[in-house]
Amino acid sequence: MIRITNLRKSFGSLLAVDGVSFEIPPGETFGLLGPNGAGKTTTINMLAGLLRPEAGSIEINGAADPGRAEVRRGLGVAPQALSLYGELTGQENVAFFGRMYGLAGERLKERVDWALDFAGLTSRRKDRVRTYSGGMQRRLNLACALVHDPETIFLDEPTAGVDPQSRNFIFENIEALKARGRTILYTTHYMEEAQRLCDRVAIMDHGRVLALDTVPGLIAAHGGSSVVEVEFDRPPADTSALPGKLEGTRVRFEAKEPLPALARLGTCGAGFLHLQVQQPDLETVFLALTGRRLRD
Amino acid sequence: MRAIWTLAIKDLRLLTRDRFGMFWVLGFPLLFALFFGFIYRGMSGGGDTGKMPVAIIDQDHTPDAQAFTERLAESKAIDLRTDLSIEQAQDLVRRGKLTAYVVIEPGFGSSWDMFTGGAAPLQVGRDPTRQAEAAYLQGILMETCFRVLRDRVADRERMHRDIRAWSEDVSGNENMNPVQQVVFTTFLTALDQFVGTVDADLYGRGTGAGSDTGAATPLAGIKEVAVARKSQREFSPFEITFPSAVLWGLIACTATFAMSIVQERVGGTFHRLRLAPIARGQIVAGKGLACFLAGLGVVVVLLGIGVLAFGVRVQNAPGLVAAAVCTALAFTGLMMVFSVLGKTENAVAGAGWAALMVFAMLGGGMIPQVFMPRWMQTAGSISPVKWGILAFEGAIWRSFSLSELLLPCGILTAVGVVGYLAGTAILARQDA
Ligand SMILES: Nc1ncnc2c1ncn2[C@@H]1O[C@H](COP(=O)(O)OP(=O)(O)O)[C@@H](O)[C@H]1O
Ligand SMILES: [Mg+2]
């Protein structure tokens, strides 16, 4: 269980995290979604005990101080910045961090093999990390955070600068971790990622949490209506039931619940040539909350 | 402790994979030792035999001066001429035919009486372009003085006579306060008794002499052989260049590990280490241990090459170990300080190398201190490089005893401890 209450941190005059509160029950994948500079990394760093909050409290797996060794042993953090030794091989990196978490002997060997396999790097394990592609380094960055098999995992933008293939690989990995009941805090500025992976999402901007709910909950509350566009094969005979104004054979309308509206369109005596339903997503939610897009 | 060890091993592994780093840590110092070694050897003009031509002029004419001349003539490093006047010797030195001349000034014999004189009044005239050899000659002269003194202590009758003379000296000395007089008189009485009661054989053995008197035991014979071999040393300029080279290797270690701390801070691995269940002190200690071990490795490799291939001989092996440990410690402390001089690699590389260059220059890492004017030699005392070189030279050819090594080793250890604590404290503050 992770609980933070009214966490605050500023750098000089800049308020980077401004009264953030949330709870993550065990086994949940929790997303922090926000643009660059929203304060996600700062929040994670405070949770991991690297930065001291100016105000607010942290509770992480029963302890108030994340700096304690017992807490750290159960915590795996993949930092946003790649943090690897380029002149060591992939295997040496993973083994080194494993040892730092107290692994040794057979157990270390077993976990190193697991982590390299998990990251899809078994065939490149003996190569220097300097020679890896960006995506491979990202995956290794993740493997180093997981080698000691932590219960609680913080992933800070784990797909930054990654090719689509590696990104998919990472998604599948995270889904596997979810399936094994790990508690995951996931930050990203890609709404698709939050939407696909996270049970609940907090939308952050300028150091504040603007909204927090499940993805459908956020959309229902802040997403507004779906936009439906229909092109008929001929002008419909009965236009009285149309939810919008007919222009030629096309009609465009907004609806909170697009399905009943579409069912009604089916009865107006014309076939569909073309149908497009644009549902609101987290992007729409962010736009509604801030008046800006997530990425420009 | 295991975590610190793991951290250090990781750093040493990274060092061995860094070709540039390895060049500065081992390759460059080795080149330095060889390059200047061959230059100095060329300067001595002797090619491979390398005997220093030295003249001695005895103006004292006492038995002690005689003994000194004989002992010096035994040295295989020196080609001794006794047939010159002081003017002739000066002229030959000026023309480069002699490396130096030594004048035993009048009063040399009486200056051995420990309370009236100080050092033996020897005057050395030397060729200013041959200062490396002059330093080496100085070591040989000291050793010779010591051997003459030892011979004299081995002569019991004379020792009794000396002690009596010293006692009279002390009691008649008005400059000495009564407490000092009591202390010296008590000491001399005890010494007199000791000289009188100790078994003759043991006495000779204890002073390392007397084996050429009839009562030689096998053990005493072995001792004499060892002493004789010591005096057969040939002049090896590499004995001067290798200690400096070791210091260059340590300087490179210091710079390399200071940089590696910054690289870890910039590159995020330091951040990641701080997430692990280990204390910050352990992370820093791991870096320190790596630097220390790398420093010892540099000493072992460079001096190993010097000993195996270039005729470097170590006179005082335990002293060498002490010199190596203390110097590596000092440079580990410096490394910690340099690592917090800046927050970027460029800042630390710039500031660190600049400071280290000044240390190296003042401390005799570039040009041996004997080549420097006196004021610069004095200024060099602020440089740990000077003390490191002194410690290594002391153990290799200056015939330092362990107690003489105490000063440089003490200073080096202090630099190490203070530097380490200061660097760690600043790092913790920067990180908070
Ligand atoms: N060490 C720091 N010193 C000064 N400003 C910082 C520091 N770390 C972060 N910031 C600032 O705090 C704000 C939040 O940063 P961050 O938490 O990294 O955001 P995110 O991870 O959401 O992109 C940004 O404006 C950033 O510039
Ligand atoms: Mg961030």
pLDDT single digits (tens) B278-317: 998 999 999 999 999 999 999 999 999 999 888 888 889 9
Out of A11-15, B54-58, B170-174, pick the least confident: B170-174
Q: Which of A83, A91, A128, A185 to mutate to test the interface with B (most CBs of B within 10 A)?
A: A83
CA nearest ligand 1 atom 3, residue? A11
The answer to whether B57 and B102 have CB atoms below 8 angstroms apart is yes
pLDDT single digits (tens) B73-84: 887 778 888 888
CA distance, residue A266 to nearest chain B CA (Å): 59
pLDDT at B233: 47
Mean per-residue pLDDT, A189-194: 92
SS3 state of residue B54: strand
Give the CA radius of gyration of chain B: 26
pLDDT single digits (tens) A256-295: 888 888 888 877 778 888 888 888 889 889 988 988 887 7
Partner residues linked to A201 by β-bridges: A31, A213
Provide the pLDDT confidence category of residue B45 given band limits of 50, 70 and 90.
very low
Superfamily grouping for domain A2-220: P-loop containing nucleotide triphosphate hydrolases (3.40.50.300)
pLDDT at A251: 87
pLDDT at B216: 25
Strands, sheet with A246-247, edge to edge from the N-terminal-most edge strand: A246-247, A250-255, A226-232, A272-278
pLDDT at B225: 24
- Statement: residue B170 has pLDDT above 80: no
pLDDT more than 90, % of chain A: 68
pLDDT at A292: 84
Q: Tell me which of A9, A32, A42, A159 to substitute to probe ligand 1's pocket, judged by most ligand atoms within 8 Å of the beta carbon.
A: A42
Provide the pLDDT confidence category of residue B50 given band limits of 50, 70 and 90.
low
Which of B414, B27, B17 has its CA nearest to residue B252? B27
Q: Determine, for residues B276 and A48 on separate chains, whether the beta-carbon distance falls below 8 Å.
A: no
**φ, ψ at A93 (rounded to 5°):** -60, -50
CA distance, residue A83 to nearest chain B CA (Å): 5
According to the per-residue pLDDT averaged within each range, which of A113-127, A237-251, A263-277, B147-161 is highest?
Answer: A113-127
- Residues within a 6 A CB radius of ligand 1: A 11, 14, 16, 34, 36-42
- Statement: residue A227 has pLDDT above 80: yes
C-alpha to C-alpha distance for A149 and B258, rounded to whole angstroms: 33
pLDDT at A48: 93
Provide the pLDDT confidence category of residue A77 given band limits of 50, 70 and 90.
very high
What separation in Å is there between the alpha carbon of A157 and the centre of ligand 2?
7
Mean per-residue pLDDT, B111-131: 58
At A129, the amino acid letter reads V
pLDDT at B257: 94
Across chain A, mean pLDDT equals: 92
Q: Following DSSP, what letter does each residue of chain A receive, concatenated?
A: -EEEEEEEEEETTEEEEEEEEEEE-TT-EEEEE--TTSSHHHHHHHHTTSS--SEEEEEETTBS-TTSHHHHHTEEEE-SS----TTSBHHHHHHHHHHHTT--HHHHHHHHHHHHHHTT-GGGTTSBGGGS-HHHHHHHHHHHHHTT--SEEEEESTTTT--HHHHHHHHHHHHHHHHTT-EEEEEES-HHHHHHH-SEEEEEETTEEEEEE-HHHHHHHHS--EEEEEEESS--S--TT-SS-EETTEEEEEESSHHHHHHHHTTSS--EEEEEEE---HHHHHHHHHSS-S--
Which of A91, A112, A93, A148 has its CA nearest to residue B278? A148
List chain A domain ranges.
2-220, 225-279
The bound ligand whose nearest atom lies closest to the alpha carbon of A50 is 1
Taking CA–CA distances from B4, the nearest residue in chain A reads: A100
Across chain B, mean pLDDT equals: 78
The answer to whether B38 and A132 have CB atoms below 8 angstroms apart is no
C-alpha to C-alpha distance for B307 and B411, rounded to whole angstroms: 27
pLDDT single digits (tens) B129-143: 666 676 677 767 766
Mean per-residue pLDDT, B62-83: 84
- How far the first Cα of chain A sits from its last, in Å, is 35
pLDDT at B210: 35
